[in-house]
Amino acid sequence: MEAKASQNAGRVMDGPTNPMVTPLLTDLYQFTMAYAYWKAGKHNERAVFDLYFRKNPFGGEFTVFAGLEECIKLIANFKLTEEEVSFIHKSLPGSCEEGFLNYLREIDCSDVEVYAISEGTVVFPKVPLLRLEGPVAVVQLLETPVLNLVNFASLVTTNAARHRLVAGRPKMLFEFGLRRAQGPDGAIGASKYCYIGGFDATSNVAAGRLFGIPLRGTHSHAFVSSFMSPDEILERSLCSSDGSNTCEDFVTLVHSWLSKIQWLKSLGGIFGETNQSELAAFISYALAFPNNFLALVDTYDVIRSGVPNFCAVALALSDLGYRAVGIRLDSGDLAYLSSEARKIFHTIEKELGVPGFGKMIITASNDLNEETLDALRKQGHEVDCFGIGTYLVTCYAQAALGCVFKLVEINNQPRIKLSEDVSKVSIPCKKRCYRLYGKEGYSLVDIMTGENEPCPKVGERILCRHPFSESKRAYVVPKRVEELLKCYWPGKSGKVREELPALQDIRDHCIKQLEQMRPDHIRRLNPTPYKVQSNDSNGVGGASLT
């Protein structure tokens, strides 16, 4: 065990994704406190801090924890450069002794221990997501960057998970937020964490390269409106998909299909002359990507122009052995338009005998959010994929998660932060945290115990009580007990360090966690609060949880 621990601790780890994440990415008062600790000879006192939040976001009763990997990468690489030390020197109020600068030159996180809940886990208020233990001055310097790395990551992952829950599992979800995100880091972070929260892909090419997230894109309005007429298309030939023949005039082939569907009885003359500049754009795009033809159909009129133009191009492609992908709708009533488009696709499949035409993929976008996804689901729609930007990545419905970082123990002495507001009182002591599962497989309660208290055991009755309300207590007989806080950075403790999982594994873990939640905790309307309690060692009676 010792050998493995030192091997892990010695492994070189990449720095944080964003090179701006350095020891200077902290509040000034962390450095002034560090100086004052040092001056008082207290800087090496051993402190324990908990990072937790007080209230679930978005009016819900769950949160998904994210940002751990970036925290560990910061901690693993925490070292001030000479230039940074001299900047701190200049920035501290008044004079600062040379000895402190030497101290700053030497510090790193080799004596810090980090325990954390696994990234992608569903978590609840008050339970520590991270527990940092180490020399007080060093751990204080970590407070701000660690909060910064966890707060938005967990908020946007939770937002993505909520969008996933309301859209339903079979739907594809694409994150399209780069243009609207809070700057480059907000965008890259949103792409990474929306993927963890259950999105299938991103339009953000940089995030695709950095994290290996699948990239997806559709078709733009500018491309459609950049064309005037099919006469602009000079190179009109297209080779069949198997290379066996070439259609010399693909434009004429498309026109012949357009007239055929125009007069299809079962379409009831729903369209006459379609927009020819739009048709030109579709043909041109099909010539560029015959295997991936997808058209944005709402530039002029979805039902009278966009969809018929798309169908004509898709049918011409089908003659040459290609299968079109589908359409994107970006305005109007998405429930109505997707259903009408689907009817047309089915009619063409049936009337013209083109197998699979009814299954064209319909993508929808345009200011989508949880509410609109919910409304669409209730109305009924035929959308297969949703492209979601602004509301998702900016976390429009809630600006911040509000994680805090509180001192709970110093030199083995418990510490508490009091407040008039009971929900703001910190819970003292170095803790262990457990999730207790009932006989149906759902988790029943998270409990926090003192570090040296006995751990809950399967099949044994445990009395759990609300941390601040004496009367709220219940017995639990767990069928399974899971310890939540694991060692992700052992410091000098010699403990084995948990490996940081691959992004894909974090995503799988998150999806599985949400599938295992009792449905009433994750429903949108009036969800049931999940219980977070502490262990009751004095054994007074209570109700039972099963």
Ligand X SMILES: O=P(O)(O)OC[C@H]1O[C@H](OP(=O)(O)OP(=O)(O)O)[C@H](O)[C@@H]1O
Residues that bind ligand ATP (CB under 6 A): 331-335, 366-368, 372, 375-376, 379
Q: Tokens standing for 315?
A: 């049918």
Q: Are 75 and 118 in contact (CB under 8 A)?
A: no
DSSP of 33-66? HHHHHHHTT-TTSEEEEEEE-SS-STT-S-EE--
31 binds ligand X (CB under 6 A): no
β partners of residue 58: none
Residue 203's binding partner out of ligand X, ligand ATP, ligand NIO, none, with CB under 5 to 8 Å set by partner kind: ligand NIO
Q: Which residue, 298 or 446, is less far from ligand NIO as judged by CB?
A: 298
- End-to-end CA gap in the chain: 37
With H, G, I as helix, E, B as strand and everything else as coil, classify residue 229: coil
Give the distance from CA 226 to its chain's centroid. Answer: 35
Residue with tokens 């450095």: 31
Residue 375's binding partner out of ligand X, ligand ATP, ligand NIO, none, with CB under 5 to 8 Å set by partner kind: ligand ATP
176 binds ligand X (CB under 6 A): yes
Q: Which residue, 205 or 416, is less far from ligand NIO as judged by CB?
A: 205
Q: Tokens standing for 136?
A: 């007080």
Which element (helix H / strand E) includes 5? helix 2-10
Q: Tokens standing for 18?
A: 């964003």
Contact residues: ligand NIO, CB under 6 A: 176, 203, 217-218, 328, 365, 387, 389
> Nearest distance from residue 174's CB to ligand X, in Å?
9
The torsion region of residue 65 among left (phi > 0), alpha (psi -120 to 50) and beta comes to beta
Residue with tokens 């909520």: 162
241 binds ligand X (CB under 6 A): no
Give the distance from CA 200 to its chain's centroid. Answer: 11
SS (H, E, C) 104-162: HHHCCCCCCEEEECCCCCEECCCCCCEEEEEEHHHHHHHHHHHHHHHHHHHHHHHHHHH
> Nearest distance from residue 295's CB to ligand X, in Å?
13
> Nearest distance from residue 372's CB to ligand ATP, in Å?
4
> Nearest distance from residue 117's CB to ligand NIO, in Å?
33
Residue 119's binding partner out of ligand X, ligand NIO, ligand ATP, none, with CB under 5 to 8 Å set by partner kind: none
Restricted to residues 366-425, the positions that interact with ligand X (CB under 6 A) are 366-368, 387-391
> Nearest distance from residue 220's CB to ligand NIO, in Å?
7
Residue 390's binding partner out of ligand X, ligand ATP, ligand NIO, none, with CB under 5 to 8 Å set by partner kind: ligand X
Residue 334's binding partner out of ligand NIO, ligand ATP, ligand X, none, with CB under 5 to 8 Å set by partner kind: ligand ATP
Tally of residues, the chain: 546
> Nearest distance from residue 193's CB to ligand X, in Å?
17
> Nearest distance from residue 168's CB to ligand X, in Å?
18
β pairing state of 543-545 and 486-489: unpaired
Q: Which residue, 79 or 180, is less far from ligand ATP as judged by CB?
A: 180
Q: Which residue, 205 or 399, is less far from ligand NIO as judged by CB?
A: 205
Binding site for ligand X (CB under 6 A): 176, 179-180, 330, 365-368, 387-391
